[in-house]
Amino acid sequence: MTAATEQFADIAKQSQEAVSAAFRTWADAVQNLAGGFTGGQPKLPDVHAILDNYFDFVQQVLDNQRRLAQTLLTASTQAAETVTEQATRAAQSVTSHATNAGQATVEKVDQTARVANEGAVANARAAKSAAAKS
């Protein structure tokens, strides 16, 4: 697994643990409330503790979301850098190939021009020689 995948798995596990803790707290509060009713004297749960537990849970979820967003941002940045590097290398390769192909074309054109020039000179000599014989 990659580091980003492991971090994502850790964050998911932490989120699951936070949800489980919140449900346990809620179940305990309900059980205490129900126990108070069955004991003959109604007992209200400690609303301050419930409120604190709720906000602790929400804070854990928010912290996990922040870590997840940071992990995704890091992974996205690394992917963008990799794509940029690969695109740069590809552009350099294409430029190199195009330059080499252009040089080869110029050399072939030069060679063709030399051959054509030599042929023209030979034809001119032959024409001059033919004209001198006539």
Check residue 73 and give its pLDDT: 92
- Write the CB contacts of 91 (distance below 8 Å, at least 6 apart in sequence): none
22/16 Cα distance (integer angstroms) = 10
**What domain range includes position 7?**
3-96
pTM exceeds 0.75: no
Check residue 109 and give its pLDDT: 81
In a structure prediction context, what are the per-residue pLDDT tens digits for the chain, which is 134 residues long? 577 777 777 887 888 888 788 878 887 777 777 665 555 555 666 788 888 999 999 999 999 999 999 999 999 999 999 999 999 999 898 888 888 888 888 888 888 888 888 887 888 787 777 777 76
Q: Is residue 68 part of a domain?
A: yes
**The total number of structural domains that make up the chain:** 1
Q: Give me the CATH number covering residue 62.
A: 1.20.5
Q: Is residue 127 part of a domain?
A: no
Contact 107, 36 (CB under 8 A): no
Q: Is residue 55 part of a domain?
A: yes
